[in-house]
């Protein structure tokens, strides 16, 4: 109302009316509260990716499909029962003349019900081999799902540590910029007192400009790392998040026994277990192909009931019933040597998969050893950089005191600042590298997320 009164004197002009309309529209607009950021830690991110990752969801669908394939294979060894009901209406019956009389053949209404049962008694081992193949195929899909899960979890954990590193490097860059500005202020103060040259001022200004550029790059790297983390866990890129957590420093694995880790990896790695199941699948395929040369025996039973009448009266008519059982024996005599060719192909495929098993086992040993030594190397780097940070902090303190007292030079001060920035940066990178090495060790052993 106060605003309307202020514009009342301008109501006769178009400008006043327009401004009054704009003010009313703005004052009536609902105020939208800023959305609260989503609090995320590593465990929350791992839970989100389990629900949102398309590759993982597809692997689970494939696993369910493999379970149904196993049911299909089992059905071949179970009884097959069929029932049918047939009704036919004869509108014009055939007839013939016998002894001068016309005789019709058949009835106008025919109703026939049949129930048949077939049960395989012997198929040369083909049914059992086929079922074993489906069971191993289902096991292979399970290992594929395990491998996909571990790959996805590893990607989430890596993106999480990249985000933590980006946040820490941004903090370091802001501190470096603050030191540079403090150094510039100190140089300018000494220049006013006639104790600093113009070159010192220029050098301090260049340092501030460089640190500002590094700070801008650190902000952008943090933005990109945040986007990458939100993308991998399946969040909208516009979703505001707040990440909490630290670099991991421990693992459930025994880091004191490398041989035990290798042995565990040879039994737990999804890729190795997958190829072992694949070897069994090819062995059973050979058995299924060989079964094609053996006889098969089936039990067949059928029952039939039939109603025939010119009048469609089911209650007053007699149903004619018949039952029979029998055995069906089939013996292949010659298939053009097709079975022999299939068996030979299956054996070659088996040999090829066995070579894959040898190669993957060797790769698993190598990867576990590499990840193990990466953990050791990162741990030693953390200790070294921890000492370096303490020494660089002390060096910067001494350099600033020397420069403030007029004993030291500006170059000493700048070198000390850069040394501390480098030490803190390398310390953060080493802690991130150890966290990644521990994660990758669990992944190479095959127990990540388990």
The pLDDT of residue 34 is 57
CB of 388 closer than 8 Å to CB of 436: no
**Residue linked to tokens 């052993």:** 445
**Residue linked to tokens 């049962």:** 117
- Tens place of pLDDT for every residue, the chain, 450 residues? 334 444 343 344 443 443 334 334 444 444 444 568 899 999 999 999 999 999 999 999 999 999 999 999 999 899 999 999 999 988 888 877 777 777 777 788 888 999 999 999 999 999 999 999 999 999 999 999 999 999 999 999 999 999 999 999 999 999 999 989 988 888 888 788 777 778 888 888 999 999 999 999 999 999 999 999 999 999 999 999 999 999 999 999 999 999 999 999 999 999 999 999 999 999 999 999 999 899 999 999 999 998 887 776 666 667 788 999 999 999 999 988 999 999 999 999 999 999 999 999 999 999 999 999 999 999 999 999 999 999 999 998 898 888 777 777 878 888 898 999 999 999 999 999 999 999 999 999 999 998
In 3D, which of 443, 448, 256 has the Cα closest to residue 368? 443
Task: State pLDDT tens for residues 258-280.
Answer: 999 999 999 999 999 999 999 99
Q: How many CA atoms lie within 13 A of 176 on its CB side?
A: 30
CB of 119 closer than 8 Å to CB of 328: no
The pLDDT of residue 264 is 97
The whole-angstrom separation of Cα 278 and Cα 349 is 10
* Tokens read off for 341: 């060719």
* Tokens read off for 69: 């394939």
The whole-angstrom separation of Cα 243 and Cα 384 is 28
CB of 71 closer than 8 Å to CB of 170: no
CB of 247 closer than 8 Å to CB of 43: no
The pLDDT of residue 96 is 77
Task: State pLDDT tens for residues 301-350.
Answer: 999 998 887 776 666 667 788 999 999 999 999 988 999 999 999 999 99
Hey, which residues does 81 pair with through a beta bridge? 117
CA dihedral (197, 202, 203, 204) positive or negative: positive
The answer for 406, left when phi > 0, alpha when psi is -120 to 50, beta otherwise, is: left
The whole-angstrom separation of Cα 145 and Cα 276 is 16
List the strands of the sheet with 296-309, edge to edge.
Answer: 80-89, 109-122, 296-309, 320-330
In 3D, which of 161, 319, 133, 366 has the Cα closest to residue 245? 161
> What pTM did the predictor assign?
0.81
Hey, which residues does 116 pair with through a beta bridge? 82, 302
The pLDDT of residue 12 is 40
The pLDDT of residue 2 is 38
What number of other Cβ atoms are within 10 A of residue 158's Cβ? 18
């Amino acid at each position: 109302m106060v605003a309307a009164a202020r514009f009342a004197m301008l109501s006769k002009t178009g400008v006043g009316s327009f401004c009054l309309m704009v003010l009313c529209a703005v004052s009536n607009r609902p105020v939208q509260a800023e959305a609260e950021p989503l609090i995320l830690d590593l465990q929350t991110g791992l839970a989100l990716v389990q629900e949102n990752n398309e590759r993982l969801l597809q692997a689970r669908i494939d696993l369910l499909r493999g379970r149904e394939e196993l049911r299909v294979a089992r059905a071949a060894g179970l009884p097959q029962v069929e029932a049918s009901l047939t009704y036919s209406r004869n509108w014009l019956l055939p007839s013939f003349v016998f002894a001068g009389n016309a005789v019709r053949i058949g009835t106008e209404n025919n109703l026939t019900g049949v129930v048949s049962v077939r049960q395989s008694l012997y198929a040369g081992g083909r049914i059992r081999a086929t079922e074993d193949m489906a069971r191993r195929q289902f096991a292979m899909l399970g290992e594929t799902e395990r491998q996909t899960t571990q790959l996805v979890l590893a990607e989430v954990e890596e993106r999480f540590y990249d985000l933590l590193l980006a946040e820490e490097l941004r903090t370091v860059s802001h501190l470096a910029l603050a030191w540079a500005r403090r150094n510039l202020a100190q140089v300018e103060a000494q220049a006013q007192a006639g104790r600093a040259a113009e070159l010192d001022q220029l050098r301090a200004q260049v340092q501030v400009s460089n640190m500002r550029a590094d700070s801008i790059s650190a902000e952008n790297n943090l933005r990109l790392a945040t986007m990458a983390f939100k993308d991998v866990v399946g969040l909208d890129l516009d979703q505001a998040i707040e990440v909490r957590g630290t670099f991991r420093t421990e693992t459930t694995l025994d880091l004191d026994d490398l041989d035990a880790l290798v042995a565990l990896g040879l039994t737990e790695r999804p890729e190795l277990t997958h190829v072992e199941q694949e070897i069994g699948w090819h062995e059973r395929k050979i058995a299924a192909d060989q079964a094609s040369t053996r006889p098969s025996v089936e039990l067949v039973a059928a029952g039939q009931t039939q109603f025939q009448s010119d009048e469609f009266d089911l209650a007053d008519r007699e149903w004619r019933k018949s039952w029979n059982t029998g055995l069906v024996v089939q013996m292949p005599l010659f298939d053009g040597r097709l079975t022999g060719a299939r068996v030979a192909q299956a054996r070659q495929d088996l040999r090829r998969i066995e070579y894959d098993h040898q190669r993957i086992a060797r790769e698993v040993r190598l990867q576990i050893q590499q990840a193990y030594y990466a953990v050791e190397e990162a741990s030693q780097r953390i200790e070294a950089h921890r000492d370096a940070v303490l020494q660089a902090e002390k060096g910067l303190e001494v350099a600033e005191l020397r420069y403030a007292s007029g004993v030291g030079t500006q170059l000493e001060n700048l070198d000390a600042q850069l040394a501390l920035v480098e030490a803190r940066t390398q310390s953060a990178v080493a802690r991130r590298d150890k966290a990644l090495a521990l994660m990758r060790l669990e992944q190479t052993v095959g127990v990540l997320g388990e």
